[in-house]
Amino acid sequence: MYLQTRSLWWAMSSALRRSPSMTQQIIKCNFSDGIRNGFKDMVGKTPLIRLPKISQETGCDILVKAEFANGGGSVKDRAALYLVKMAMEEGRLKEGGTVVEGTAGNTGIGLAHVCNAIGMKCVIFMPNTQSQEKIDLLRTLGATVYPVPAVPFTDPNNYNHQAKRFAETHENAYWTNQFDNTANRQAHIEMTGPEIWDQTGGKLDAVVFATGTGGTLAGVGTFMKEKRSDIKVVLADPEGSVLYNYIKHGKFERKGNGSITEGIGQGRVTDNLKNAPIDDAVHVTDKEAVEMTFRLLHEHGFFVGASSGLNVAAAVQVAKNLGPNHTVVTCLCDTGQRYYARLFSKEWLESKGLLDSVPKQYWEHLH
């Protein structure tokens, strides 16, 4: 066995030495049971974890994909990888090129990691309302960051439109367009969905995810419906988003006044979400999301952000609707470290009227 493994390793090493460029290696992502080959193989194959206490309370198995275990630390690494991968396959982006995106969060972080791994430049446009910590992090990761005035999507100076114009006016630059580029959804059709199916042995009853771009829910949902049409695909929506009312009532009406969660909720149907096989939607308040975020930390040991708390709170709603003895799958999107300054601050929670959402026995741990 040792000799076989050693021979395989030398074969892999020789193949890499013969490879024409590091950039081209991203087009094909191969996992092995032991050694993973570079950053691209650190995207995907995340653990699927049962939450014991919450499962016991609902009478269902509540399972979560640990997406913070991706190489860049979030579920958005999957989209980032495929946005670049498919652009290269289609000849829209060549070696040494520049990847451009309008983003205020995890997709930009994922793209910066991917670009570092394959020798490309990364340019990020973001609203100037974002925290200095986010700007500093992206710059530390090697991205060029342009904070621009925060204006509505309908304004030509919206950060997404500025990103598009930048790519159009620079040679070998590509705007990844995470919201409407269906390479995002394809990442979850080809990676996340099959992983969940294999890890559960096909024994699941529902998947539920919050949506920003819509890629995760649409991709996983599409894959699951092709496997078994009776698997429920449920959209989890925060306050201030239109998607709950759109799915339930066919109306683009916001429910609530806005959310403290980041990167989820939407005011339109993105191309990634179009024609997604969605069966139902659940609405999750900030209070429910925050309470679950702190329960995940202090009762299950997972230090995650509020979007993860919202996902699990939504999974609980779905489990209660289905009744006992069902399996519901969602994901933990990223780590709480990215939100430490606000979400885990007593003063900040109090300013948002959310301190009482944190179980009182956990108040002593706030900073």
Closest CA to 96 of 23, 164, 169: 23
DSSP 8-state class, residue 192: I
Active-site residue (options: 40, 76, 85, 255): 76
Residue 76 annotated to the active site: yes
Task: Measure the CA–CA gap between 32 and 159, rounded to whole angstroms.
Answer: 39
DSSP H or E run through 49: strand 48-50
- Dist. CA 167–CA 171, nearest whole Å: 8
Tokens of 274: 């179009």
Name the one residue in this structure whose structure tokens are 């944190």.
358
Q: At what angle do helices 193-200 and 215-227 cross, to 10 degrees?
A: 50
Q: DSSP assignment of 211-252, as one string? A: -SSSHHHHHHHHHHHHH-TTSEEEEEE-TTBSHHHHHHHS--
Burial 211-249 (b: 16+ CB within 10 A, else e): bbbbbbbbbbbbbbbeeeeebbbbbbbbbbbbbbbbbee
Q: Just list the catalytic residues.
A: 76
